[in-house]
Amino acid sequence: MGEEKTLEAIRYKRGSLQLLDQRKLPHESVYINIPDCDVAWNAIKDMVVRGAPAIAVTAALALAVELVHLENSYSGDPQDAAAFIEKRLSFLVSSRPTAVNLSDAAYKLQRLTSQASINNGATAKTVFAHLIEAAEEMLKEDVLSNKAIGEYGAKAILQAVGGKEKLRILTHCNTGSLATAGYGTALGVIRSLFAQGQIETAYCTETRPYNQGSRLTAYELVHDGIPSVLIADSAVAYLMASGRVDAVVVGADRITANGDTANKIGTLNVAVAAHQFGVPFFVAAPLTTVDIQINSGDEIVIEERSKTELTHAFGAGPEVAAPGIGVWNPAFDVTPAKYITGVITDRGVVWRDEKAHGLDIGGFALGT
Ligand code: MRU
């Protein structure tokens, strides 16, 4: 284990972006310099940085850094500058398809800079400046949004478990500081419950095949001194059947208008088991994770990743599967809204309507 134990996935100051190489965790804390969008694209694709909010913020900041280095030599007019930004953003969006955060951030930045290009007195430099400031704002906003999710989530879970104290909470994948600009979404809710003295045990799944749970969530839980236990993904149903889970909280990569939720592969297994054993199942994500353009989970594009994530240890180490076997490796699955007790957002909680068996996410029926 390396000396420095950091939970800072993204290190940024104007003109400089560094990413903690999460492929090397928990053994080493190594930062990689990201000077431009090309390097950022590869870093996102190759999982140097991962987690829906973190990849969105990384993309925005990588473009900001690229523009800082380009602005003095750039000779185009403001419209050229906006067109250049649009091209770089759509390139970045092509790195990973499932999480809406990346395309949502790109859309907002593109709209902002295209408007800035027609302002009175606009120059390429002022257009670039709009993007740089907006990207920096996204970094700050993500942490604030996670803190709000943490507060709403702690309250919602305590309500769902009928005021029980000292909870056993299960989570899947990594949704903490390493998946966001800081604090985390679902893991932020666990942090918030822990800060209130309400955690007996946080259970984290391994999250096969890429082990975001055993490598990253476990690392964060140990770092924060939260009493925690690692389980195999295949132990979830048995853990619940033996009455050892009070509630589940997971993150989300995309939530559709009806509340269906795409999240890390294996989330659906956890949700079905929670439904079977009467365990409240919460999704925690910023409201921007809701994609109201899409009505149901059937329309979400699910990323399929390399077969080596299953056939080789850590995707590149020794072969752990029989050579020649076929592999199907979807990185995400979709949990139907009917299995979700509530969606905890940074603006409040959307509770499932028991009668409608659905979640009125598109209508933003928020309550606390
Ligand atoms: O493939 P990953 O590691 O990017 O998948 C991450 C997840 O599925 C997270 O649960 C989700 O992005 C929410 S992160 C706050």
The pTM score is 0.94
Residue 258 CA: distances (Å) to CA of 41, 217, 267, 344, 367: 31, 29, 18, 15, 17
Q: Is 263 in the pocket of ligand 1 (CB under 6 A)?
A: yes
Helix (H, G, I), strand (E, B) or coil at 136: helix
Catalytic residue numbers, as ranges: 253
Q: Which atom of ligand 1 is nearest to the CA of 186?
A: 15
Q: Is 254 in the pocket of ligand 1 (CB under 6 A)?
A: no
- Determine contact, residues 133/259, Cβ cutoff 8 Å: no
ipTM over 0.90: yes
Mark the ranges of the chain whose per-residue pLDDT is less than 70. 1-4, 354-368
Q: Is 205 in the pocket of ligand 1 (CB under 6 A)?
A: no
Residues 6+ apart with CB under 8 A from 110: 82, 85, 86, 89
Fill in the amino acid letter for 34.
I
**pLDDT reported for residue 2:** 43
Residues 6+ apart with CB under 8 A from 251: 51, 52, 173, 175, 179, 185, 186, 187, 263, 264, 283, 284, 285
**pLDDT reported for residue 216:** 98
Fill in the amino acid letter for 67.
L
**pLDDT reported for residue 4:** 62
Rounded CA-CA distance 61/257 in Å is: 29
Backbone angles phi, psi at 17, to 5 degrees: -130, 130
Q: Is 180 in the pocket of ligand 1 (CB under 6 A)?
A: yes
- Determine contact, residues 302/291, Cβ cutoff 8 Å: no
CB atoms within 10 A of CB 298: 9
In Å, how far from its chain's centre is CA 261?
12
Q: Sort 136 into a burial class: Cβ within 10 Å, 0-12 / 13-18 / 19+.
A: middle
Token pair 């889970």 in the structure block, residue: 245
Helix (H, G, I), strand (E, B) or coil at 288: helix
Residues 6+ apart with CB under 8 A from 253: 52, 98, 99, 100, 101, 262, 263, 264, 289, 332
First-to-last C-alpha distance (Å) of the chain: 41
Q: Which atom of ligand 1 is nearest to the CA of 173?
A: 10
Q: For ligand 1, pick from 25, 250, 253 the residue to mutate: most ligand atoms within 8 Å of CB.
A: 253
